[in-house]
Amino acid sequence: MNTEQLLQALRWRYATKVFDPNRKIPAETWSAMEETLVLSASSFGLQPYRFIVVDDPALRQQLMPHAWNQRQVVDASHFVVFAARTSVTEADIDGWIDRIAEVRGMPRDSLAQYRSMMTGMLLTPEFQPQAVHWAARQAYLALGNLMTAAAVLGIDTCPIEGFVPAEFDRLLGLPEQGYTSVVCCALGYRSADDKYATLPKVRRPKEELIRHV
């Protein structure tokens, strides 16, 4: 892909207000979308999030009123809730060290320095109240990755912050697992009726947004 094709895809992207409820993302393409989430970068590699793909139409109907009744929740082909970890525990870190040792075939001891870097930063009393913010940022990075990957493949997206996290958490059973919903993304294909698709994109001027020093 060259720069012009990339920019074309990013200019084509917009926060889709009306999805075509009859068009579904093919299974193979959706699988690639999930893979982009898995491949997303995160702080220390810890992936302090879970991605909840809501397949059940009845559950989507239950979520919609808690998302300002935005129809993207039910009309889009796929709907993902980004759930951030609300705290970091020693077990999280040890589980991650185990995973690295397993995948890379390394002795656990060789990761001792890496482990103590993580525990020294993430298990302090000062960090704990910040943990959910830290985790949410990583989830947003994954959201940016997903939206750009989708645009490159010609899939429409709508990031959704307008929802009631407490209600989503309750309906998805997140708190008991140590997670909270921070943002959502609907994915699918725009409807021909979406008047927002053709509005000029508005951004601050480049020279205001980007400063060279």
For binding to its own copies (CB under 8 A), which residues are involved?
Answer: 1-3, 5-7, 10-11, 13, 15, 28-29, 32, 34-41, 43, 45, 47, 49-56, 59, 99-100, 103-104, 133, 136-138, 140-149, 152-153, 159, 161, 172, 182-183, 199-204, 206, 209-213
DSSP state of 108: G
Residue among 54 and 73 whose Cβ is closer to its own copies: 54
Residue among 193 and 203 whose Cβ is closer to its own copies: 203
Work out the burial of residue 184: count CB atoms within 10 Å of its CB; fewer than 13 is exposed, 13-18 middle, 19 or more buried. buried
Minimum distance from residue 208 beta carbon to its own copies (Å): 8
Query: Which amino acid, one-letter code, is at 190?
Result: R
Minimum distance from residue 162 beta carbon to its own copies (Å): 9
Minimum distance from residue 180 beta carbon to its own copies (Å): 13
Residue among 67 and 142 whose Cβ is closer to its own copies: 142
Distance of CA 45 to the CA centre of its chain: 15
Residue 82 · residue 132 · CB < 8 Å: no
Residue 5 · residue 57 · CB < 8 Å: no
Residue 87 · residue 128 · CB < 8 Å: yes
Encoded tokens for 163? 């929802």
Minimum distance from residue 133 beta carbon to its own copies (Å): 5
Minimum distance from residue 140 beta carbon to its own copies (Å): 4
**Alpha helices per DSSP H over 47-157:** 57-63, 72-75, 90-104, 112-122, 131-152
Minimum distance from residue 70 beta carbon to its own copies (Å): 13
Residue among 12 and 191 whose Cβ is closer to its own copies: 12
Residue among 90 and 102 whose Cβ is closer to its own copies: 102
Residue among 22 and 133 whose Cβ is closer to its own copies: 133
Q: Which of 21, 3, 12, 17 is nearest to 153 (CA)?
A: 12
